[in-house]
Amino acid sequence: MTAHASRGMEDANVLIIGGLGFLGSNLAHRLVASGARVTLFDACLDPYGWNYANITEIARDVEVVVADTRNFEAVCVHVADKDLIFNFAAQVSHSLSMERPCTDIEINCRGNMNVLEACRRLNDGVTILFAGTRSETGEAQYLPVDEDHPDNPSDIYSINKLAAEKYHLMYHHVYGMPTTVIRVGNTYGPRHQMKHGQYGVLNYFIRRAMLDEPILIYGDGEQIREYCYVDDVCDAFYRAAQTPKSIGEYFVIGSGEPVKFIEMANRVLRAVGKGSLIHTPYPEGREKIDVQKFFVANDKISEYLGWHPTITLKEGLEKTVAFYQTRLMEYI
């Protein structure tokens, strides 16, 4: 059991890699409120979700380090004294990974290997929580997808995330390091970037509707997905970090509320109160990497961590729209 696990989050020395982004900054709010000492490590790379507006409320309570996981020495400096590391930095766009595969390998494989190697050499007792992605599974062979489902990822991002996930679990298996993986599904909520729709499409749709710009639906929109509210996702990581039983495990999580893509878009329009939809053919190459039907079983994470999704899509959309109604200009 690591030191922080026995004493909760108060005074835990926590590093969030990718901490200025969407998941990292939302989790930082929760950790600061719990009394943790939080350092945010982020390379501030475009077109990703880093934004100083994400930490407005906690700017005085966190340390920010602008550094890149591809720089091994920089990683070493910041992992050595930590109790807990949330490893969230990533090249996160499926389509960009196809356009720039080597950048994806550099960030999603080499960057993660740097984090693990730095920890192995300097702080091998540190608890590391890695954010995997549902797209490591690829097209579902059965539903709901669980932790026993085989993996057949359909794009470069998802293949490299799967490699990084395996690195984390291997470092537990071979070196006994306390690592845990949570495979995150489509997540939305306050503090997601809205500059473009390369990833995080639900948030991008909210922007389009708020600005009265039409929302483009590729194909018929019949794909089935789950959309998890960010506080629920952060809660899963928070619980995993405090629960020794999660060490060496991987979990899938979802909202428990599968919906058609077109239904999600219509619900965005209703939550915003304006906007419109336009159907359009898929851009070249996009359809082949788009999974048709996906939702997961939360049984394992619920058994191990007592985690359940608590926010419905309706409630989550209302909260998200309320956030951007006052802060939209900081995100577009």
Ligand X SMILES: NC(=O)c1ccc[n+]([C@@H]2O[C@H](COP(=O)([O-])OP(=O)(O)OC[C@H]3O[C@@H](n4cnc5c(N)ncnc54)[C@H](O)[C@@H]3O)[C@@H](O)[C@H]2O)c1
Cα separation, 43 vs 320, whole angstroms:
26
Q: Least distance in Å: CB of 312 to ligand X?
A: 18
Rama region for 200: left / alpha / beta (φ>0; ψ in -120 to 50; rest): left
Candidates 40-48, 76-84, 216-224, 293-301: pick the segment binding ligand X (CB under 6 A). 40-48
CA atoms within 13 A on the CB side of 181: 24
Candidates 46-54, 217-225, 291-299, 316-324: pick the segment binding ligand X (CB under 6 A). 46-54
**One-letter identity of residue 61:** D
Asked if 23 interacts with ligand X (CB under 6 A), we say yes
CB burial readout 112-150, b (16+ within 10 A) else e = bbbbbbbbeeebeebbbbbbbbbbbbbebeeebbeeebe
Asked if 79 interacts with ligand X (CB under 6 A), we say no
Restricted to residues 264-323, the positions that interact with ligand X (CB under 6 A) are none
Q: Least distance in Å: CB of 36 to ligand X?
A: 18
Which one-letter DSSP state was computed for residue 190? T
Asked if 186 interacts with ligand X (CB under 6 A), we say yes
Q: Least distance in Å: CB of 148 to ligand X?
A: 20
Q: Least distance in Å: CB of 66 to ligand X?
A: 9
Asked if 131 interacts with ligand X (CB under 6 A), we say yes
Asked if 255 interacts with ligand X (CB under 6 A), we say no
Asked if 137 interacts with ligand X (CB under 6 A), we say no
SS (H, E, C) 3-48: HHHHHCCCCCEEEEECCCCHHHHHHHHHHHHCCCEEEEEECCCCCC
Q: Least distance in Å: CB of 93 to ligand X?
A: 9
Q: Least distance in Å: CB of 144 to ligand X?
A: 17
State which residue, 252 or 305, has the beta carbon closest to ligand X. 252
Placement of tokens 């985690």 in the chain: 307
Among 20, 84, 119, 317, binds ligand X (CB under 6 A): 20
Asked if 200 interacts with ligand X (CB under 6 A), we say yes
Cα separation, 23 vs 230, whole angstroms:
7
Cα separation, 249 vs 271, whole angstroms:
37
